[in-house]
């Protein structure tokens, strides 16, 4: 089990390093704590924000993300120089994260286990139950 977790951790670190090379200005001082299933989601978010910002903006005016993490089961993104348009994009991807398994990237839904919220597909639910289940 530990080897699996260590492997996932290094996969995430390698992927964050790849994102850092591609989106260096936005990820200048970023700390990222996310599972591998959300990596494409994060890349899509950064791409959309980069397209919205364009290349005309001065480097010190571009949005910079300080933290990308999971909180209460879904994606959270924090930073500075974030305008209303950037925030709307971030909000969209944070909401979308509630429908994507954080482990594999397949469709999922919010689950709860031992008072811990997480988004998972059926394969990765790991004994949790849907958080919106009234039973």
Tell me: pLDDT of 134 over 60.
no
Q: Is the whole model's pTM more than 0.85, yes or no?
A: no
Residue 131 vs residues 8, 38, 72, 91, 124: alpha-carbon distances, Å: 25, 19, 11, 21, 15
pLDDT at 5 over 60: no
CA angle 24, 100, 106 (to 5 degrees): 105
The pLDDT mean for the chain works out to 83
At residue 2, the pLDDT reads 34
What are the boundaries of each domain within the chain?
Answer: 2-98
Whether residue 96 has pLDDT greater than 90: yes
Whether 14 has a pLDDT exceeding 80, the answer reads: no
C-alpha–C-alpha distance, residues 16 and 48, integer Å: 17
Torsion (CA) 108, 104, 24, 76 in degrees, nearest 10: 30
- Pair of tokens at residue 13: 């670190």
Of residues 132 and 72, more confidence is placed in: 72
* 4 pLDDT above the threshold of 50: no
pLDDT value, residue 114: 87
Identify whether the C-beta of residue 81 lies closer than 8 Å to the C-beta of residue 25: no
Worst-scoring range by mean pLDDT, 11-15, 59-63, 107-111? 11-15
Q: Token pair of 122, please?
A: 């059926």
Give 28-65 pLDDT, tens digit per residue.
777 777 888 998 999 999 999 989 887 677 777 889 99
């Amino acid at each position: 089990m530990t080897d699996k977790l260590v492997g996932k951790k290094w996969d995430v670190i390698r992927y964050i390093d790849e994102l850092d090379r591609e989106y260096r200005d936005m990820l200048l001082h970023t700390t990222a704590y996310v599972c591998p299933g959300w990596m494409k989601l994060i890349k899509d978010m950064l791409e959309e924000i980069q397209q919205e910002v364009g290349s005309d903006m001065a480097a010190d005016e571009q949005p910079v993300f300080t933290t990308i993490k999971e909180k209460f089961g879904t994606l959270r993104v924090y930073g500075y120089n974030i305008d209303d348009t950037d925030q709307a994009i971030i909000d969209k991807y944070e909401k979308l994260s509630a429908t994507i398994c954080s482990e594999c990237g397949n469709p999922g839904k919010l689950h709860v286990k031992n008072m811990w919220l997480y988004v998972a597909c059926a394969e990765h639910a790991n004994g949790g139950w849907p958080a919106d289940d009234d039973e």
